[in-house]
Homo-oligomer: A and B are copies of this chain.
Amino acid sequence: MNKKPLIYPYIPNSVPEIKKQMLSAIGAESIEEFYADIPDNLRLKGKMDLPEPFLAEYELKTHVETMLSKNRTAGEYTSFLGAGCYQHHVPAVCDEINQRGEFLTAYAGEPYDDHGRFQALFEYASMMGELLNMDVVNIPTYDGFQAAATAIRMASRITGRGEVLISRQINPAKLSKIEDYCGHDLELKLIDYDPATGQIDLAALRNNISANTAAVYFENPSYLGVIEIQGDEISTIAHDCGAIGVVAVNPITLGVLKPPVEYGADIVCGDIQPLGIHMQFGGGHAGFIATRDEEKYVMEYPSRLFGITPTAVEGEYGFGDVAYERTSFAVREKGKEWVGTAAALWGITAGVYLALMGPEGMQEIGETMMSRAKYAMVELNEIQGIKAPLFTAHHFHEFVVNFNQTGKKVVDINRALLEYEIFGGTDLSTQFPELGQSALYCVTEVHTKTAIDHLVKALKEVITK
């Protein structure tokens, strides 16, 4: 009905009169002139074939909300999924800060106009440093996968070696990423684990390590939820061969667990999603890399590092890029890997989270998670046919539940659990065939006793159906 020209609210100069005036100020006849360099045969003829737009914000909102309403969330259902993405309470203050337009819409300003970002990220790194007991922490990279892959490349560059030993209790998806990122010039070897305890097989590690080994990489807790207690031994084995110890940790465990540096890790990496960042269907990840403050380590980071420095005014905190010349921004392909847009906002957010939690909060959340997970294991294990946990090791908040004796497949069990509005644990049967019909369950501070009891009851019913 509207015969008026369409003016887009996001495009101020789409008003015809303004366009005309601007063209005339430039001395151009039409916008076409600006495209003179694009040969005609490259010009798209006609309109792109895209759906009719929802010009009114209300209609757009309705459209997207209707689509999203088809989702069932881990808030509506009770979810025991973990496996690299974790459901935790996100403090309101975290979202308040990361929704601030100043942080949300800034990008690459200078230490002056963007002082706030520099300070917030310096503080993030500093708090992570306390959690990890390490002096250097990067501005977040994409995710824990990237952090692990880069940590391995760093180790290779530092040692000048080309072989990497990786504990087999790694997320296969992460391993795939590492292969994509390192496989073309590093040799990756998997180190097996003890099938009873779930701990790394030290003999296998000793057998595989050599003077070519750049790094020994393991996760703690492992992908299968196992707390590795042989950290000291592993580090010694690595160091004795001149290799670097790379440990990936879930930072939310570190109020309770020892920071890896205390059992000899040289590079520590991981994902900060659990620290105040919503799951977002896997869109809330950010990776950290931490090391000691040694030049040979620092100079191998591809990421930006923000350092504190004086300004022209006494007592004024200033910040800036540390050793910028390492980066691809400074020297293109001569830099270390590359740097670019990554996940800074999640770094700021995780900083807010750690500042809210403090030492006691981190300790308590760890304790709560461990107790509840333990309770879940005990209760599940009492169900006929279910073994939980599968490994005898200590566990943090994830653990393998084995259903072999039930005669049922995880995929069917999980499907049945949906009827109870439960998301069962991640199916491991194809990822780790040796574990049979096993699933990786996760319990956090959001899982009340009631929720766990609901799972236990549901599983009892499901496996006897």
Measured CB to CB, the residues of A under 8 A from B are 2, 4, 9, 56-58, 61, 89, 91-92, 96, 101, 356, 360, 364, 445-446
Q: When the two chains form their complex, are residues A92 and B58 in contact, meaning their CB atoms are under 8 A apart?
A: no
Q: When the two chains form their complex, are residues A58 and B96 in contact, meaning their CB atoms are under 8 A apart?
A: no
Beta-carbon nearest neighbor of A93 in chain B = B57
**A292–B58 alpha-carbon span in the complex (Å):** 35
Q: When the two chains form their complex, are residues A91 and B57 in contact, meaning their CB atoms are under 8 A apart?
A: yes
A/B interface sample: 7 pairs, CB < 8 A: A2-B364, A9-B356, A56-B89, A56-B445, A57-B89, A58-B445, A96-B101
Q: When the two chains form their complex, are residues B92 and A57 in contact, meaning their CB atoms are under 8 A apart?
A: yes
Q: When the two chains form their complex, are residues B58 and A89 in contact, meaning their CB atoms are under 8 A apart?
A: yes
List the number of copies, as a whole number. Answer: 2
Tell me how far the C-beta of A449 lies from the nearest C-beta in chain B, rounded to whole angstroms. 13
Given pairs A57-B91, A61-B89, A96-B101, 11 additional interface contacts (CB within 8 A):
A2-B364, A4-B360, A9-B356, A56-B89, A56-B445, A57-B89, A57-B92, A58-B89, A58-B445, A58-B446, A61-B92
- A-B pairs with lowest CB-CB distance, top 4: A58-B89, A57-B91, A58-B446, A57-B89
**A11–B58 alpha-carbon span in the complex (Å):** 41
**A2–B101 alpha-carbon span in the complex (Å):** 39
**A461–B58 alpha-carbon span in the complex (Å):** 30
Residues from chain B with a CB closer than 8 A to the CB of A9 are: 356
Beta-carbon nearest neighbor of A361 in chain B = B9
Beta-carbon nearest neighbor of A99 in chain B = B99
Residues from chain B with a CB closer than 8 A to the CB of A4 are: 360
Beta-carbon nearest neighbor of A371 in chain B = B1
Residues from chain B with a CB closer than 8 A to the CB of A364 are: 2
Tell me how far the C-beta of A55 lies from the nearest C-beta in chain B, rounded to whole angstroms. 11
**A445–B61 alpha-carbon span in the complex (Å):** 13
Tell me how far the C-beta of A79 lies from the nearest C-beta in chain B, rounded to whole angstroms. 14
**A71–B61 alpha-carbon span in the complex (Å):** 21
Residues from chain B with a CB closer than 8 A to the CB of A58 are: 89, 445-446
Tell me how far the C-beta of A86 lies from the nearest C-beta in chain B, rounded to whole angstroms. 14
Tell me how far the C-beta of A177 lies from the nearest C-beta in chain B, rounded to whole angstroms. 32
